[in-house]
């Protein structure tokens, strides 16, 4: 479980240690302890960068995703467009989504649109359609008919490729959504799962610490009086995220009839 404090208003880190006292009777040649260095400042939590739209048409989102090896959090993993999480895709209900996937992984992969109603050939499930081979490209295209916060990830060698960084958020906006001052996209993942991605039976992948947008213990401080919508994804495969003292207005597939005061995100859940 994870408290809300991890999402926002976290402090910059522990208070610097008090300098060690020295005995005034010790000969001056005896070395004294230096003042402890201040703790490093926590990284700032920002939304993942959004994908560049290649089509000027207002009702089409056309993006390019390159899946390739990428080192992040000290691990040789994978990424879409050299970022973890991958680029956020933002569209509206009724838009056409076009995604050109360029597979530079050296192994087959695919993209599954988690929670989205798509045609059979666009689903990316390895047991239903052929994956995109190493060095190959494939274009996914379909109409977005349901508003909500969704995510995309491989559905071929899923656990291995997702744990090593291949995932991102898809936002389909609802015209009925409340107006807010700003929005923050937050993706939770467990670093232990990255270490366990080679199916090492000695490693427990259940998160005891978390990565938030690929960062360890980031800080987020909203402006006073600002209304912020936070869209959340639990991209881990073995951990649950519990948040309380919040106002939950939507879940995986759109707005709720009435807001909730708490939420538990199972693996793959969004809010």
What are the structural domains of the chain?
Answer: 60-265 (2.60.40.420)
Task: Give the pair of three-digit tokens for residue 32.
Answer: 């004294």
pLDDT digits (tens, 9 = 90+) for 110-155: 999 999 999 999 998 877 788 999 999 999 999 999 999 999 999 9
pLDDT digits (tens, 9 = 90+) for 41-63: 889 999 999 999 999 999 999 99
What's the N-to-C CA distance of the chain in angstroms? 16
CA dihedral defined by 24, 30, 36, 37, rounded to 10 degrees?
A: 130
Backbone angles phi, psi at 224, to 5 degrees: -60, 135
Q: Which of 73, 5, 11 is nearest to 41 (CA)?
A: 11
At 200 the pLDDT is: 59
Beta strands in the chain (DSSP E): 60-72, 75-80, 89-92, 96-103, 112-114, 137-143, 148-153, 168-173, 182-189, 211-212, 215-216, 228-234, 241-251, 254-265
Q: Which of 72, 65, 88, 47 is nearest to 197 (CA)?
A: 72
CA distance 127 to 271: 28
At 176 the pLDDT is: 85
Of 86 and 14, the structure prediction assigns the larger pLDDT to: 86
pLDDT digits (tens, 9 = 90+) for 71-120: 987 788 999 999 999 999 999 999 999 999 999 999 999 999 999 999 99
Q: Contact at 8 Å (CB) between 178 and 156?
A: no
Task: Give the pair of three-digit tokens for residue 229.
Answer: 């919508």
Neighbours of 82 (CB within 10 A): 13
CA distance 137 to 109: 10
CA distance 61 to 172: 11
Q: What percent of the chain has a predicted confidence (pLDDT) above 70?
A: 80
At 201 the pLDDT is: 59
Task: Give the pair of three-digit tokens for residue 238.
Answer: 């073995």
Q: Contact at 8 Å (CB) between 2 and 243?
A: yes
Residue 245, SS3 per DSSP: strand
**Does 184 sit behind a cis peptide bond, omega within 30 degrees of 0 on the bond before it?**
no
CA distance 64 to 78: 16
Phi-psi domain of 82 (left: phi exceeds 0; alpha: psi -120 through 50; beta: other)? left
At 72 the pLDDT is: 82
At 194 the pLDDT is: 59
CA distance 266 to 242: 9
pTM above 0.85, yes or no: no
């Amino acid at each position: 479980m994870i408290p809300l404090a991890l999402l926002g208003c976290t402090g910059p880190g522990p208070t610097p240690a008090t300098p060690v006292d020295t005995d005034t009777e010790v000969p001056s040649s005896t070395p004294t302890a230096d003042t402890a260095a201040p703790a490093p400042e926590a990284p700032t939590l920002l939304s993942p960068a959004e994908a560049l739209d290649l089509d000027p048409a207002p009702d089409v989102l056309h993006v390019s995703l390159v899946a390739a090896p990428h080192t992040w959090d000290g691990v040789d993993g994978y990424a879409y467009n050299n970022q973890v999480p991958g680029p956020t895709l933002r569209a509206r209900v009724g838009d056409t989504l076009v995604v050109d996937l360029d597979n530079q992984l050296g192994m087959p992969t695919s993209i599954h649109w988690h929670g989205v109603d798509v045609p059979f050939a666009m689903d990316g499930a390895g047991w239903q359609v052929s994956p995109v081979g190493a060095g190959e490209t494939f274009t996914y295209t379909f109409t977005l008919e349901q508003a909500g916060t969704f995510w995309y990830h491989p559905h071929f060698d899923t656990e291995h490729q997702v744990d090593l960084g291949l995932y991102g958020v898809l936002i389909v906006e609802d015209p009925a959504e409340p107006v807010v001052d700003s929005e923050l996209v937050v993706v939770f993942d467990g670093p232990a799962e990255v270490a366990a991605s080679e199916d090492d039976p000695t490693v427990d992948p259940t998160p005891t610490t978390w990565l938030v947008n690929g960062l360890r213990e980031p800080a987020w401080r909203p402006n006073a009086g600002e209304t912020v919508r936070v869209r959340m994804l639990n991209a881990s495969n073995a951990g649950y995220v519990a948040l309380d003292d919040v106002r939950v207005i939507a879940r995986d597939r759109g707005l709720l009839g009435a807001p909730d005061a708490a939420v538990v995100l199972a693996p793959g859940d969004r809010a």
